Amino acid sequence: MTDLPPTGSPQIRFDVLTLFPGLFDGFLTESILGRAIRNQLVDVRLWDLRQWAVNKFGQVDDRPFGGGPGMLLMAPPVVDGVEAISNDDPAPAHVVLMSPGGRTFDQAKARELLQKRRLILICGRYEGFDQRAIDILKPELLSIGDFVVSGGEVPAMVVMDAVMRLVPGVLGDESSAVDESFHDDRGLVEYPHYTRPREYRGLGVPEILLSGDHARIAKWRESQRRIKESKEQS
Ligand code: SAH
């Protein structure tokens, strides 16, 4: 697909505070999101937390009081960083901190975040954050699920991806976000899809999809949508 001319007015701006900006390289340049950024439908800025290190050695972490394994991100670099990033643009920013203990991210939250227009995403590393960074900044804590990954970068990419594809024009076909899993409050997932070949390893395609009767196809598809299985059911 060819790139559209730049619109010049991004629908949403993301500022990401991270120790590893390089992790975002491919994510922000390839495919759908790369195109959205080039077309200025969305604006993404990466900020290296070390800019706000507490000393000339670039220190941003330290050992936890009370002992225990690992290191914590210190409060001053995180607080100073977020305050500086906030002031980089007069538009008020909604601050989100990636945390396994946060509320689980879902499609409804993606829709809600899109409305904020400006988001600061804070990525943790090591054992996480000095609690005072959280107490001072009062960010929204978001988790991508009940498991632990090594840093907040992949979780931040998950959030950005889900929000960005809701921006009008980001997906090639306007209707594709409307038709998708979880697009309304019923929590239904998509109906099954088929493409060529018409027969594969003895499996055919539901006849109705070959009928050309669009009204019946739409009805069939609606009937095939279902509630996602929850942990308890599976
Ligand atoms: N000690 C922490 C885990 C730290 S993992 C704990 O037990 O909860 C390091 C960082 O990765 C976290 O600060 C957070 O920013 C990010 N992270 C890890 N798992 C995550 C998840 N499921 N959702 C969101 N962020 C996560």
User: For 63-122, how does the pLDDT look when each residue is reduced to its tens digit (9 = 90+)?
Assistant: 999 999 999 999 999 999 999 999 999 999 999 999 999 999 999 999 999 999 999 999
Among 20, 60, 72, 149, the mutation site with the greatest number of ligand 1 atoms within 8 A of its Cβ is: 149
pLDDT, tens digit (0-9, with 9 covering 90-100), for 123-175: 999 999 999 999 999 999 999 999 999 999 999 999 999 999 999 999 977 56
pLDDT at 229 over 80: no
Amino acid code (one letter) for 65? F
* Residue with tokens 């993301």, as numbered in its chain: 14
> Do 134 and 186 form a contact (C-beta atoms < 8 A)?
no
The domain over range 181-233 is classified in CATH as 1.10.1270.20:
yes
* Residue with tokens 């901190």, as numbered in its chain: 97
Nearest to 78 by CA among 86, 67, 70: 86
196: CA distance to ligand 1 center in Å? Answer: 42
CA separation for the pair 230, 232 (Å, rounded): 5
Domain definitions of the chain by residue range:
12-164, 181-233
The CATH architecture annotation of domain 12-164 reads 3-Layer(aba) Sandwich (3.40)
Percent residues over pLDDT 90 in the chain: 85
**Nearest CA, atom 12, ligand 1:** 124
**Half-sphere exposure of 112 toward its Cβ, with a 13 Å CA cutoff?**
10
**Nearest CA, atom 23, ligand 1:** 143
146: CA distance to ligand 1 center in Å? Answer: 10
Pick the atom of ligand 1 nearest to 128's CA: 13
- Cβ < 6 A, ligand 1 pocket: 98-101, 123-125, 127-128, 143-145, 147-149, 151-152, 155
pLDDT at 14 over 80: yes
**Nearest CA, atom 16, ligand 1:** 152
12-164 shares its CATH topology with 181-233 = no
Which of 26-35, 125-134, 180-189, 207-216 is the least confident region?
Answer: 180-189
